[in-house]
Amino acid sequence: MRQLEDLDFADDISLLSHKLDDAQKKLCRVAEEAEKTGLQINISKTEVMRVNSKQQNPIRLHEEDIKEANKFTYLGSIVNKDGGSDEDIKCRINKARQAFITLRQIWKSKTLSIHNKLRIFNTNVKSVLLYGSETWRVTKTNSKKIQGFTNRCLRNILGIHWPFSNYGSHWWKREGKEEEGEEGGGGGRGGEEEEEEKKKKKKKKKKKKKKKKKKKKKKKKKKKKKKKKKKKKKKKKKKGEKQEEQKEKQKGGEQREEEQEGGGGMGESGGGMRSKRK
């Protein structure tokens, strides 16, 4: 297995070694080869990072100690001792946020279509956010941070304010369709936008219908309750009237009986008077 000895891109060089002596030799040799072409290593921009190393002797160049660091930036990406990507992802999000803020007039524009705004977002903001992402060691927390930042940007672009249901899936689907349209030459972009608008209108109509049905059901329930209450009141009134009629009948019967009893007594007394006259 061959070991990776160095990483080179233009004038940025990263030397890798497992031993301190090897690192010192590599640095000196690079400095010699650079001097042959009239170049010099900038010691102020050169750093050493030790990873799980027990050797603490300094690395020197031109009789100067090279400063040591726990992290350094190589080709725009932050490399640290732990080998994690938390700091680099945080830095990428901050840079993407700055890029998004500088384009705020575009996001507020009413003349630009959403399709064009999403294209600008992908080229000017998303590219900054995902720069060097191939080397990231992504965790769940980092993934949530990246997704959250992207969702906030898309909410701003689409003019959608919190709260909004099913926000993430809707925006990502929309953005994915825009990207597919770009790959296919942009022939079906307008059709996709029209289909999305139609779907939205259908959803709104369905929601309105559901609301109307609910209102109708509530009204019917209220009417039924009112009818039941009226029926109960009528029944109570009828019962009360019947009871009063019965009471009146009872009173009338009692009065008649009393009158009949009084008339019988008078007849008997009259008969007694006639017999005496004879």
| Same structural domain, 55 and 11 | yes
- Given 39, 69, 99, which residue is the final one in a domain? 69
Whether residue 135 is contained in a domain is answered as yes
| Same structural domain, 64 and 104 | no
> pLDDT tens for residues 130-182?
999 988 988 999 999 999 999 999 999 988 876 654 555 555 555 555 555 44
Whether residue 49 is contained in a domain is answered as yes
Domain of residue 33, residue span: 6-69
Average pLDDT score, the chain: 79
| Same structural domain, 56 and 113 | no
- Given 130, 158, 186, which residue is the final one in a domain? 158
Whether residue 168 is contained in a domain is answered as no
Cα 214 to Cα 200, 205, 221, 227, distances in angstroms: 21, 14, 11, 20
pTM score, whole prediction: 0.54
Q: Give the total number of structural domains in the chain.
A: 2
> pLDDT tens for residues 227-265?
888 888 888 888 778 888 887 778 777 777 777 766 554
The answer to whether the CB of 25 falls within 8 A of the CB of 5 is no
pLDDT of 61 higher than 60: yes
> pLDDT tens for residues 64-87?
888 888 888 888 888 888 878 889
